[in-house]
Amino acid sequence: MRFRTGDVARVERTWKQFVPSAVLHDVDPHRFYFDWQSADLGAVTLVRYDLAAEVRSTAEPEDQLLACRVEGPDAQVRSDRSELDASRPWLSDGPRVHAKWERGARVTALIFERASLQRLAQQISGDDTLSLHVTDLSPRSAHAAAAWDRMFSYLEQSVDSLDDGDGDAVLRNELARHAAATTLATFSTTGQLHRHRPTQTTPAPATVRRALDFIAENAHRPITVDDVASAVHISTRGLQYAFRRALDTTPAECLKRARLDGAHRDLRSGAPSTVAAVARKWGFSHPSRFAVAYRESFGVLPSVTAATHRR
């Protein structure tokens, strides 16, 4: 689908077809221009648009994973947790992401239905029990971000030659698989925490997912397992049981993992800080225990990560 318009309402209606939570705020209609292109690859939708206007926007994916990049001379992107690097793509499976610009921007996005991406991840990994959850909205590295950008350019070039009918169904599937594999390689997920037993007949998976979302968004705060249970309206004992049944782990372990991931991000950022300060920030009061847990998770001591990425 391709079109150009100066109609703000049409732009928002179109974007909501793909990301129902998308909202445009404070749009300047006097210098508004919109150039849209999208392509359906079955398991993923590719979107690219240029939007000339002063814009504030919000996306909060629902049952989707949204991989997106906002490119503009004054573009700013942030989640409810932190600032994001507008020069790199980001990935969200629920946390709200806000973007704003004044002089226009180009937005490139891949929109995966959660179930479709999970199936592709299972096929790629060979693990049919894997369940996806994003742990870090930012890419793993600058190299990974650049690979994602190259992949998107390749997809955009490829879809121009696709037949509108079913003749290119195999090619569409391969392009979708390439998009999924590159996106999964670009960003950190906690598939290893979400390996679960056979399908349940109770509503526990939805409760567990909401709990994981709460943990991901609040791990930097001094929350406890009781706080997690309260946030998803379940008893602490019930939450423990739901996690054990669905993930074969505990809420405390998931919270610990989220905090280790946060510490890992901080140490990789190269920002001036000591390992001890990063450990304290993420709730680890004993440096030696933090070092042991960190090495078990990432294969190296935190001091090594800090030294490697020091500016």
**Token duo for residue 253:** 């372990």
| pLDDT at residue 164, as a whole number | 63
Domain closes at, from 134, 161, 186: 186
User: Which residue has tokens 């939805």?
Assistant: 206
Burial 121-154 (b: 16+ CB within 10 A, else e): bbeeeeeeebbbbbbbbbbeeeebbebbbebbee
The overall average pLDDT reported for the chain is: 83
Check whether residue 174 and residue 222 sit in a common domain. no
CA distance 137 to 158: 27
Q: Domain for residue 33, yes or no?
A: yes
Whether pLDDT at 80 is above 90: no
**Is residue 282 within 8 Å of 263, Cβ to Cβ?**
yes
**Is residue 49 within 8 Å of 35, Cβ to Cβ?**
yes
| pLDDT at residue 125, as a whole number | 63
Q: Domain for residue 191, yes or no?
A: no
Check whether residue 87 and residue 132 sit in a common domain. yes
| pLDDT at residue 194, as a whole number | 40
Check whether residue 179 and residue 37 sit in a common domain. yes
CA distance 53 to 68: 19
- Full 3-state SS string of 120-154: HHHHHHCCCCCCCCEEEEEECCHHHHHHHHHHHHH
Q: Domain for residue 281, yes or no?
A: yes
What CATH number does the domain containing 304 carry?
1.10.10.60
- Give the whole-number percent of the chain exceeding pLDDT 70: 88
Q: How confident is the model at residue 192 (pLDDT cuts 50, 70, 90)?
A: very low
| pLDDT at residue 310, as a whole number | 73
Among 123-132, 144-153, 262-271, 286-295, the range scoring the smallest mean pLDDT is 123-132
| pLDDT at residue 298, as a whole number | 85
**Token duo for residue 123:** 């096929």
**Is residue 187 within 8 Å of 139, Cβ to Cβ?**
yes
Q: How confident is the model at residue 111 (pLDDT cuts 50, 70, 90)?
A: very high
| pLDDT at residue 197, as a whole number | 37
Query: Is pLDDT larger for residue 122 or for residue 72?
Result: 72
Among 144-158, 190-204, 215-229, the range scoring the smallest mean pLDDT is 190-204
Check whether residue 275 and residue 156 sit in a common domain. no
Whether pLDDT at 177 is above 90: no
Q: Pick from 144, 57, 129: which is nearest to 100 by CA?
A: 57
Torsion angle defined by CA atoms of residues 158, 159, 163 and 166, in that order, rounded to the nearest 10 degrees: 100
Q: How confident is the model at residue 147 (pLDDT cuts 50, 70, 90)?
A: very high
Q: Domain for residue 4, yes or no?
A: yes
**Is residue 193 within 8 Å of 255, Cβ to Cβ?**
no
Q: Domain for residue 221, yes or no?
A: yes
For the chain, what is the domain count?
A: 2
| pLDDT at residue 167, as a whole number | 54
- Full 3-state SS string of 153-203: HHHHHHHCCCCCCCCCHHHHHHHHHHHHHHHHHHEEECHHHCCCCCCCCCC
Give the range of the structural domain holding residue 117, as residue numbers without chain letter: 1-186
Check whether residue 63 and residue 138 sit in a common domain. yes
Whether pLDDT at 200 is above 50: no
Q: Residue 30 has what DSSP assignment?
A: G
**Token duo for residue 92:** 């969200």
What element of type H or E holds 21? none
| Residue range 16-21: mean pLDDT, rounded | 78
Whether pLDDT at 22 is above 90: no
**Token duo for residue 18:** 């793909």
Check whether residue 170 and residue 276 sit in a common domain. no
* Dihedral angle sign, alpha carbons of residues 169, 173, 178, 179: positive
Whether pLDDT at 31 is above 80: no
| Residue range 240-254: mean pLDDT, rounded | 87
Q: Domain for residue 282, yes or no?
A: yes
Domain closes at, from 186, 217, 237: 186
Q: What is the pLDDT of residues 53-72, one digit of tens each?
A: 778 888 888 889 999 999 99
**Token duo for residue 55:** 């814009």
Check whether residue 170 and residue 231 sit in a common domain. no
| Residue range 192-207: mean pLDDT, rounded | 47
Check whether residue 53 and residue 23 sit in a common domain. yes
Helix 251-269 to helix 236-247 angle, to the nearest 10 degrees? 80
CA distance 304 to 75: 33
Check whether residue 222 and residue 118 sit in a common domain. no
> How many helices and strands, by DSSP H and E, does the chain display?
11, 13
| Residue range 260-269: mean pLDDT, rounded | 88
Domain closes at, from 135, 167, 186: 186
Check whether residue 119 and residue 257 sit in a common domain. no
Check whether residue 206 and residue 261 sit in a common domain. yes
| Residue range 100-111: mean pLDDT, rounded | 90
**Token duo for residue 77:** 């992107």
What CATH number does the domain containing 34 carry?
2.60.120.10
Check whether residue 178 and residue 227 sit in a common domain. no
